[in-house]
Chains A and B, each alone.
Chain A
Amino acid sequence: MCASSAKLTATGYAVADWAEGVEAYFERGWTDGLPVVPATEEAVRRFLAAAGREPGDVVITEPVRRRTITAEKVAINAVLAGCLAEYMPVILAALDAMGDPAFTLHGAITSTGGSATLVVVNGPIRQRLGFNSSTNVFGPGWRANATVGRAIRLITLNCLGAQPGVLDKSTQGHPGKYSYCIAESEEENPWEPLHVERGFARTASTVTVFAAEAPHNVLSHYGETADAILVALGDTMASLGSFSPGQSFVVLAPEHVKILARDGWTKSRIKAELYARARRTRADLKRGGKLAGAVEPDDEDRWVHRGNGPDDIHVVVAGGGAGGHSAFIPSWSRYRNSLAVTREVR
């Protein structure tokens, strides 16, 4: 458990006590607007040791603004976020995924589109670290979800320069920009969980990152059939506001999952059905300011689907046992600029 003796390179500032340290981070503009836990050398060394990393290890490079983030800076921000040292491998895996060119990191964190990085945790690490996949899954109450998501945001702010009004030009943003981390309820999932579908062993622990809008609630209580749920989901996914060629996450509530499974629906069939339903005519897209130009006569009969195909719809299971509330989470960007990326937690 002894940390490497390699020297930390971050500049240190002397403060009189803990309370002054909290205020010092505010004064320097190094928080997300909430108080942070002051990062001491002792804490940072403990976090690095838990991750088995040297301070100077390069975790991620961002080519557009030429930023190189080391394990030391990740650890400092994880301390600030209120993490436990044991969360470090999850944060490191999420950052590694965000560094994949398919994620388009710079665009995703600076665009007027105002996305946040959705982090989905799969595998045994969910229980080991106490990630919530159940009641209030997108809400507060669980340290692992709250602080891992917050650490990603603080790194975005402090290491990638995506401060509001500086590089982050989000027109509105959304509350997920404070923290946006869930676990999948694999125990309530009768199909393959997300990470198995994406090529990992069921026993592996993974994180999947997705540059995402806020969750859109899909309330369907009274149909009590798979068809009713798919009608409501498909209609939400076809709504003009978030319509794009991008990917989607559909987070199914356990109550909806039970009905879908009872009626014989597989995950691949659900995806195909939602892809078929999530479509609009070119005329609608033009009338709604989603496509440029005047409506042409044949635009009324030309259909455009959300995404490139059924596999652009990522279906996961999460949420409390009671309630017919699933969620549709659209991608960032009017185009297809960022794709979901999965990495194993090591």
Chain B
Amino acid sequence: MTLKILDPTIAADHAESTMAKRIADLDGKVLGLLSNSKVNGDHLLELVRARLASRYRIERVVTMTKSSASRVADAAMLDALARACDVVVTAIGD
């Protein structure tokens, strides 16, 4: 006599998604920076910005900060970044 026991775990949902088109370089492009709002996240992003700016002639930088590191970036913020930027870098700092 055997017993069948059930698995209590679940995995993350994997919705279908596709990668955005890659771009060859950042010359003349708009760079977005999205901070998670934790202390030092902004420093990390500034280091990334400075490094990229030394290699490319970046047209403009758009910086945004999530209202809380514990929440997803809201749709309006993501839409605004998507509209304004050619590429976005996000960082988690603490």
Q: Which residues of A contact B (CB under 8 A)?
A: 8, 10-18, 20-21, 24-25, 28, 30, 38-41, 44, 63-70, 73, 76-77, 80, 101, 104, 106-108, 111, 154, 158-159, 161, 292, 333, 335, 337-338
Contacts of B7 in A (CB 8 A): 10-13, 28, 30, 76
Pick the residue among A14, A30, A101, A338 that contacts B9 (CB under 8 A).
A30
Q: Give the docked Cα–Cα distance between A68 and B13 (Å).
A: 7
Q: Is B71 an interface residue (CB 8 A)?
A: yes
Contacts of B15 in A (CB 8 A): 66
Q: Is B19 an interface residue (CB 8 A)?
A: no
- Contact: B6 with A8, CB < 8 Å? yes
Contacts of A333 in B (CB 8 A): 70
Task: Please give 17 more A-B residue pairs, beta carbons under 8 A apart, in addition to A10-B8, A15-B2, A41-B6.
Answer: A10-B7, A11-B6, A12-B6, A13-B4, A15-B4, A16-B2, A18-B3, A24-B5, A25-B8, A30-B8, A40-B6, A64-B72, A66-B12, A66-B13, A73-B9, A111-B70, A337-B70
- Contact: B70 with A108, CB < 8 Å? yes
Q: Give the docked Cα–Cα distance between A18 and B2 (Å).
A: 9
Q: Give the docked Cα–Cα distance between A20 and B4 (Å).
A: 11
Cβ < 8 Å to A, chain B residues 7-65: 7-10, 12-15, 39
Pick the residue among A14, A15, A77 that contacts B8 (CB under 8 A).
A77
Query: Given A18-B3, A38-B5, does the pair A67, B68 have CB atoms closer than 8 Å?
Result: no
Which has the most chain A C-beta neighbours within 10 Å: B6, B8, B13, B72?
Answer: B8
Contacts of A65 in B (CB 8 A): 12
Q: Is B69 an interface residue (CB 8 A)?
A: yes
Contacts of B39 in A (CB 8 A): 292
Query: Given A104-B68, A106-B70, A107-B68, does the pair A159, B2 have CB atoms closer than 8 Å?
Result: no
